[in-house]
Structure 1
Amino acid sequence: PLAKVRLEDGTEFYYVPPEGAYIGQRVEIGPGARPRVGNVLPLAEIPDGSLVCNVEIRPGDGGKIARRSGTYALVFAHEGDRVILRLPSGKEKIVTGRARATIGVVAGGGRIEKPLLKAGVAFYKERVHPKRWPKVRGVAMNPCSHPHGGGSHKRPGKPTTVSRWAPPGQKVGHIAARKTGRAKKRAKL
């Protein structure tokens, strides 16, 4: 999500809003700002244990870390003029204390948990990746389009296991499979 911020001098810009931001909220930006949700301040002034988002790696780069909806980074510790962050991936990163961050968790958490429900919604979601969706099954194609295609039935018509050294285009199905089929039940001792 994005929020439009209007400064006192009239200039406007967009920023990544945290969870709980609302229309008409006053946002403090820069050194000396209070560490409250929605405010933007240098990492050196943010207390340990705070959840932050839209974190800069270099001062003034506009924010690179924890920008996706529902994500956050944790201010883990301060070491002199540097700050240790715990990233959404679980890794720790050392960043200069002059880099800025927004206090809070990015708004819109749980966005991807809602089901798409119909193909039309999936179409608009995936149209930026036209090669990725829709995925047509090989058995639904013509024989000229896929090794599993053709025939008046819904099955590949030939073994789906293929050699590791098969040429490109033939390598579809189970590539160099050790075994196929359902797992056999083991006898309990």
Structure 2
Amino acid sequence: MGKRPLVRRRGRGGMQYRVSATGKIAPAKYPSFELSENHVGEIIDLVHERGRDVPLAKVRFNNGSISFIPAVIGAKVGSQIQFGLKSKIDDGNVISIQNIPDGTAVCNVEKQFGDGGSFMKSAGTSATVFSHEDKGVTI
């Protein structure tokens, strides 16, 4: 009997075929804040995580918590990010999609509220808010 093919051995798993989890910094998702409250955070560092194209922004919020979120184009150390319904329309701010005017470019859109973002998360991607309707927002 011959040896099993390499792909079959990989499919079975084992220590030599496991992916190393070293080099991972943190999950890239938004913190769980109530949108009715306004929170301000400052980017304290831009870090590269192995296996990810987009850099992560290390953000310290005014309550002292630290979170890692995908950095937007134009993000730099020391810039402010606002979370909440009353935030102004600016690069990096987190606002409800229903409050964003038509024609605005958006990235890291959440499918369900609080999931941390699931659409347009990779480096350089964005979408445009096309229209607001009774059923929802077309992107």
Query: TM-score, with normalisation over the residues of structure 2?
Result: 0.59
Partner of 1:64: 118
Cα distance in structure 1, aligned partners of 2:83 and 2:73: 17
Cα distance in structure 2, aligned partners of 1:15 and 1:81: 29
Determine helix, strand or coil for the equivalent of 1:60. Answer: coil
Cα distance in structure 1, aligned partners of 2:59 and 2:90: 16
- For the pair shown, the structure with the greater C-alpha radius of gyration is 1
Q: Kindly provide the amino acid, as one letter, of the partner of residue 97 in structure 2.
A: L
Given the alignment, which residue of 20, 32, 42 partners 2:96? 42
Whether 1:79 aligns to 2:109 is no
Aligned length: 85
Give the Å deviation of 1:30: 1.4
Q: CA RMSD in A?
A: 1.0
Cα distance in structure 1, aligned partners of 2:105 and 2:83: 17
Cα distance in structure 2, aligned partners of 1:63 and 1:80: 23
Cα distance in structure 1, aligned partners of 2:97 and 2:86: 11
Higher relative CO (CA 8 A, sep ≥ 6), structure 1 or 2? 2
Partner of 1:98: none
Cα distance in structure 2, aligned partners of 1:16 and 1:45: 21
What does 1:27-176 correspond to in 2, within 5 Å? Answer: 27-80=81-134, 82-85=136-139
Q: Once the two structures are superposed, what CA deviation does each residue of 1:60-81 show, in whole Å capped at 9, x if it has no partner?
A: 1100000110101111111136
Determine helix, strand or coil for the equivalent of 1:28. Answer: strand
Whether 1:26 aligns to 2:80 is yes
Q: Kindly provide the amino acid, as one letter, of the partner of residue 7 in structure 1.
A: F
Unaligned runs of 5+ in 2: 1-54
CA contact (8 A) 1:44 1:81 kept: no
Cα distance in structure 1, aligned partners of 2:136 and 2:85: 16
Unaligned runs of 5+ in 1: 86-189
Give the Å deviation of 1:10: 0.3
Runs of 4 or more above 3 Å deviation: none
Q: Once the two structures are superposed, what CA deviation does each residue of 1:5-29 show, in whole Å capped at 9, x if it has no partner?
A: 1100100101111110110111001
Cα distance in structure 2, aligned partners of 1:52 and 1:16: 13
Partner of 1:13: 67
CA contact (8 A) 1:31 1:45 kept: yes
Cα distance in structure 2, aligned partners of 1:58 and 1:84: 15
CA contact (8 A) 1:48 1:76 kept: yes
